[in-house]
Structure 1
Amino acid sequence: MGVSLNDRLNKMSSVIDTRNKKIDEMCEEVVRLSHRVNSIEREISSINQTNAEFHESLQGISNVFDGIKEQVDKSENEFQNMKIKLDAMEAKVVHYASKRENEIEELIEKNEELTDQTLDLRCRSMKYNLIFSGIHENVPENTEETLRGFLAEELDIDYDIEFTVVHRFGQKNNKRNRPIVAKFIYQRDLDYVLQCAYKLKGKTFQINRQFPDEIEQARKSLYPIMKELRRKGETVKLVRDILYVNGRPYDPEDSGPAETLKYPQRTPSRYGSSSNKRRRINSTPEKH
């Protein structure tokens, strides 16, 4: 019975030791769990802090984007205002350019009118002028006496024609005789000299009316046309830079003389204008 109690006590003691050992193990496990919980809490705290910082960063980014959007909206408004101003300026520039273009066209037109008027005045100032070419030039010489001798010897004009001025023009050249220009006082004398010019046929002398260079160039371009029309039997007359065919101005766009009065062949404008404005002309050719 005593042995049995000891056995029981030993057994109970063994059980208690086992349980104490389990309790110790459980305590150790609790400690480990506690450490793990603390570690998890620290991780959660860190995550929370990171999350807070992230949210703070997001808020900062949101604020930046809000600022950018505000700047974009402001820039867009400024752009629209600038576009409105530019459109207004463009309209003003177009209006100003159109106005200036009209003014330039008016100035060109006035310049052309002045050019025509000046050319007309120059033609009028040369109306009583004849150019004599091929007359021998003496050095020295009295040019008027030389011309009178030519008129008497070559044209059989035996009376004294009155001149306003007689002189040679152009640079002196020993290899050729400079032309003589003579301004007549009376139209009848000039006409008579021209009537007698047929006596120079086959000789080296020439008598021509004097015209400004612009008119002279236009006349030169009309000479072949005039020659061809005469060959065809047409009645042609060249007055200044206008070619008359059967009494009407020649139209270069037609194969023959113009049926109606159209723009005559004339000196091109020095300004290059393609204006169709018609120059004043006589309805019939002049008698010279």
Structure 2
Amino acid sequence: MSSVVARVQEHEDLLNDIQINSKVIEESVESIGKIVDTALNHCNRNTDTIENIENRLLAIETDDRSKHKEKETIKQMQETITDLKCRSMKSNLIFSGLHFQQNEICEAKIQDFLESELGINYRVSFGNVHRFGKPGLNGVRPIVARFIYRRELEHVLSQTYRLKGKRFGICEQFPPEIENKRKELYPVMKKAKMVGKKVKLVRDKHYINGKPYNNTTASKKQTTEDRDVLLNNKFSFTINGSPPIPPRRFKRSRNDSVGDESEKSILSTHM
């Protein structure tokens, strides 16, 4: 009887352990479920956040594209305005260095200047002639003259070589944005002329030997070519018109000096 009671007690203890373990498992499953629910909630929130970020990025990209289009439109408008300015100034020449006089008539002054300095003895047809801008180096403002006929303007420009070494100057009129670009190209033109190249400046476009000049890519190539041409010119000038350049001195070894002495002795015996 005692053995039966012991076995029953053993089974009861085992059953209690099973119940306790089952309760622990239930609590663990419940906590795991809560963790899964929390993770799902976080995942959903992250998904919403990612979608929000993607929408904002898409809006930014769309805004950037629209801004880029606006910049391109503004650039095209600026180029159009500059082109219109150039066209309106196409028939204008600027005369600098002419002294100012009270109650002067600018058109008559330009007519006298063309005849006395450029040898143009016919009456040039002008539309409007007046002083403008800031005073130049001589303290007087330049005069701008609008020509009626293009051929007369070109004739005046063809005679500007007569002003070399004088205080006067004649140039075409351009908008400030074009004139600033031209000033940057003047040194390039001068350097190209020095090496015998044909140069031409049309508005702000520079052509060397008939090819357009690219300031970013062609500058290195042109510098190398100009240096080679200058060196060749210098070498030919040295050969044709200058005395020979003595050789550079160099260190001589003892063996070289001994060899020279032996050569001298051989030459003296033959002589």
Within-5 A mapping of 1:139-288: 139-171=102-134, 176-252=139-215, 253-254=217-218, 255-256=221-222
Q: TM-score, normalised by structure 2?
A: 0.64
> Match of 1:9?
none
Mapped to 2, the partners of 1:212 and 1:78 lie a distance apart of 65
Mapped to 2, the partners of 1:102 and 1:147 lie a distance apart of 53
- Matching residue's letter, 1:139: Q
> Match of 2:243?
none
With 212-221 and 169-178 compared, the bigger mean Cα shift is at 169-178
Q: TM-score, normalised by structure 1?
A: 0.60
> Match of 2:74?
111
SS at match of 1:96: helix
Q: Describe the shift of the 1:229–1:171 C-alpha distance in structure 2 as closer, same or farther (beyond 3 A).
A: closer
- Matching residue's letter, 1:256: Q
Mapped to 2, the partners of 1:100 and 1:120 lie a distance apart of 30
SS at match of 1:158: coil
SS at match of 2:101: coil
Query: For the Cα contact (< 8 Å) 2:97–2:138, is it kept in 1?
Result: no
Query: For the Cα contact (< 8 Å) 2:117–2:163, is it kept in 1?
Result: yes
Unaligned runs of 5+ in 2: 1-26, 224-271
| Bigger Rg, structure 1 or 2 | 1
Structure 1 residue 81, shift from structure 2 partner: 3.5
- Matching residue's letter, 1:158: N
SS at match of 1:256: helix
Structure 1 residue 256, shift from structure 2 partner: 3.3
Query: For the Cα contact (< 8 Å) 2:89–2:173, is it kept in 1?
Result: yes
Mapped to 2, the partners of 1:139 and 1:84 lie a distance apart of 82
The structure with the largest helix share of the pair is 2
> Match of 1:90?
53
> Match of 2:255?
none
> Match of 1:264?
none
Unaligned runs of 5+ in 1: 1-61, 258-288
Mapped to 2, the partners of 1:160 and 1:206 lie a distance apart of 20
Mapped to 1, the partners of 2:84 and 2:136 lie a distance apart of 31
SS at match of 2:102: coil
Query: For the Cα contact (< 8 Å) 2:96–2:136, is it kept in 1?
Result: no
Query: For the Cα contact (< 8 Å) 2:135–2:142, is it kept in 1?
Result: no
Mapped to 2, the partners of 1:172 and 1:194 lie a distance apart of 23
Structure 1 residue 105, shift from structure 2 partner: 1.1
Tell me the percent identity.
39
